[in-house]
Structure 1
Amino acid sequence: MHPAPSVILFTSLSGLGFGLLIFLGLGYPDVTGWTAFAFFVLGYLLAVGGLSASTFHLGHPERALKAFTQWKTSWLSREGWLSVATLIVMALYGAGLVFFGARWSLLGWIGAGLSLATVLATSMIYAQLKTVPRWNLPLTPVMFVATALAGGALLSGQITAALALLVLAGLVQAAYWVTGDRALAGSGTTLASATGLGPIGSVRAFEPPHTGSNYLTREMVFVVARRHVAKLRVIALALMAVVPVVLLLLPFSHALAAVAVVCHLAGVITARWLFFAEAEHVVGLYYGRR
């Protein structure tokens, strides 16, 4: 699919923000006052910034509020409700830390759970789509959650947890790529099965349905060269997991920690670009792009 910058920023920044809120809700780091305020501001800037970026991909951003009415059937709507609930609960929890020096643990645990549920809901927006076999995998939500937790541990300064979670996120990302590469072929979807003409004989497209591009070809039929994919995967994995782990193993300094965070975010953004660029929507079969 077309790797739109808005959805790349949405999934990357919001995952990192809600990942940080998960750790803050669990009491890590153990901070109060203005230090807590700084951590919560960072978490909210990332989470809300990512959610706001997603609206730029809408054809009619002014209608975004209508998405909240479809919570029974839409994971996008559920994500909206969960994110609002998370931000409200965490604001109350943060107020206790910042203004009263009090840790209302139950509220923090609820907020952490809602933050995790929000990340899961984001992942299910994509994992539910059978028309994109590469996304329609159990590893999709695992990858989103692992990346959010790794980023949250890194931002919250939990070095031991960050080392383990960064390695886990890297392994899950690699497993997702390996599994995803076989997903379209494994789904059994072909031009013959899509048209129902398979029993008659070999099916091929005689010519494209039309001579110009349309919404489907612009948004859902994106092809990236395999040689570029290989290079970008190495870059994404190195920046997202390998470099931060190496930096965290060195004697601690705030400068190295900041570089580790920047590298991790750059790696996540690269991986998310690939997540969308490599998505093989089955409609591409009709245009000879698969």
Structure 2
Amino acid sequence: MHPAKSVIAFTTATGAGYGLLIFMIALNMAGLLPSDATFALLGFGLAFAMISAGLMASTFHLGHPERAWRALTQWRSSWLSREGVMAIFAYGPTGLYGLVWYMSPETLATPLMMAVGLVGIVSCLITVYCTSMIYASLKAIFSWANSWVPASYLVLSLMTGALLCDLFAYAFGFSTTVLDIAVLVLLAAGLLVKLGYWKYVAQTVNPTTPETAIGLPTAQGGKVRVLESSHTEDNYLLKEMGFAVARKHAAKLRMIAIVAGFVAPVFLVWCSSILSDSIAVYPLYSAVFVCAVGIVVERWLFFAEAKHAVMMYYGENS
């Protein structure tokens, strides 16, 4: 599949933004983050900026972006529509919690605001899940139609959000061992999930073949092959669904994603946890930057390595 920049920006930015909201609300509800107004303003401001920018970027890949609002009416059958509805809904409870945190932090401990916080956390998780199901529901793309996709989207969202929250906590002098441990655990979980996803794609046989596409009985050992291409120039399908990345390049990019997205941030977060408070924040700036690079590479590969079943019409075996 063609790795559109707008879709990569959408999935990475919104995922990190929702993850940041989840951790800011959850840690504040647990009493692990103080009710500092400036901290709330900058933290929620960054999260909403990333989410809004990502959602806007998602429309750039549409043929008619001005019609995007119509997709919201198809929530009964479309994961894209459900994602849009949940994204809009999530602004409510999370925005209210952030506003109260900034203007009247002493009321955050009330049962009402605790309920608002829980609704905000759940709505963020559901939104990320809906985003993942946009791709996992596409049976025509074998590498996406599996449970590893929603698992990776959820874990990577929490991972990047926790890392951003850790950076803010250190920058404001609110560092906590619990958050450091959570970041390290999520980085490890993110790496395991991605390795599991790549292993699944490499070892699982795609049940769809050119033979099954035309109903040829496989027991008879028949093979289908393309005698001649139906046209001599690239068309929309070849450009959007026939994108190919060389295996050796994919291996290098996977290594970059692993080192930058997971391994290096683990080392940098550990460095922050053992350094003095005056300089502990600096490794986290580096951790956020290299992790962002790694996740962008990972998401580029997620799209670039995916093969659509329609390519069998053009001679692809699987």
TM-score by length of 2: 0.88
Give the secondary-structure state (helix, strand or coil) at the position aligned to 1:27. Answer: helix
**Counterpart Cα distance in 2 of 1:69 and 1:99:** 35
1:219-238 equivalence runs, <5 A: 219-238=240-259
Matched, 1:177 2:191: no
Q: Which of 127, 132, 153 does residue 162 from structure 2 map onto? A: 153
Q: Which residue of 1 aligns with 2:95?
A: 91
Matched, 1:110 2:119: yes
Q: Which residue of 1 aligns with 2:169?
A: none
Do 1:191 and 1:286's aligned partners in 2 also have CA atoms closer than 8 Å? yes
Do 1:132 and 1:280's aligned partners in 2 also have CA atoms closer than 8 Å? yes
Once superposed, what is the RMSD of the aligned Cα atoms? 1.3
Distance 1:30 1:176, change over 3 A: farther
* Number of aligned positions between the proteins: 288
**Counterpart Cα distance in 1 of 2:211 and 2:227:** 13
The answer for unaligned runs of 5 or more in structure 1 is none
Amino acid at match of 1:195: I
Q: Which residue of 2 aligns with 1:17?
A: 17
Per-residue CA deviation, residues 180-202 of structure 1 (Å, 9 max, x unaligned), is 1234xx23211111122346732
**Counterpart Cα distance in 1 of 2:268 and 2:88:** 35
Per-residue CA deviation, residues 104-133 of structure 1 (Å, 9 max, x unaligned), is 221111101100100000000000111001
**Counterpart Cα distance in 1 of 2:269 and 2:35:** 21
Matched, 1:26 2:26: yes
Amino acid at match of 2:199: V
Aligned-residue identity in percent: 42
The answer for unaligned runs of 5 or more in structure 2 is 167-178
Distance 1:284 1:35, change over 3 A: same
**Counterpart Cα distance in 2 of 1:32 and 1:88:** 21
Matched, 1:64 2:40: no
Give the secondary-structure state (helix, strand or coil) at the position aligned to 1:285. Answer: helix
Matched, 1:44 2:63: no
Q: Which residue of 2 aligns with 1:123?
A: 132
**Counterpart Cα distance in 1 of 2:50 and 2:256:** 23
**Counterpart Cα distance in 2 of 1:286 and 1:182:** 23
**Counterpart Cα distance in 2 of 1:95 and 1:194:** 55
Q: Which residue of 1 aligns with 2:174?
A: none
Q: Which of 183, 190, 203 does residue 224 from structure 2 map onto? A: 203
The structure having more radius of gyration, on CA atoms, is 2
Deviates more, 1:96-105 or 1:23-32: 23-32
Per-residue CA deviation, residues 204-251 of structure 1 (Å, 9 max, x unaligned), is 111112111111111111111000111100100111110000001113
Amino acid at match of 2:147: P
- How much has 1:25 moved relative to structure 2? 2.2
**Counterpart Cα distance in 1 of 2:289 and 2:23:** 19
Q: Which residue of 2 aligns with 1:213?
A: 234
Q: Which residue of 1 aligns with 2:5?
A: 5
Give the secondary-structure state (helix, strand or coil) at the position aligned to 1:187. Answer: coil
- How much has 1:86 moved relative to structure 2? 0.7
Per-residue CA deviation, residues 53-107 of structure 1 (Å, 9 max, x unaligned), is 1000000000010010000000000000111111121111111000111322211
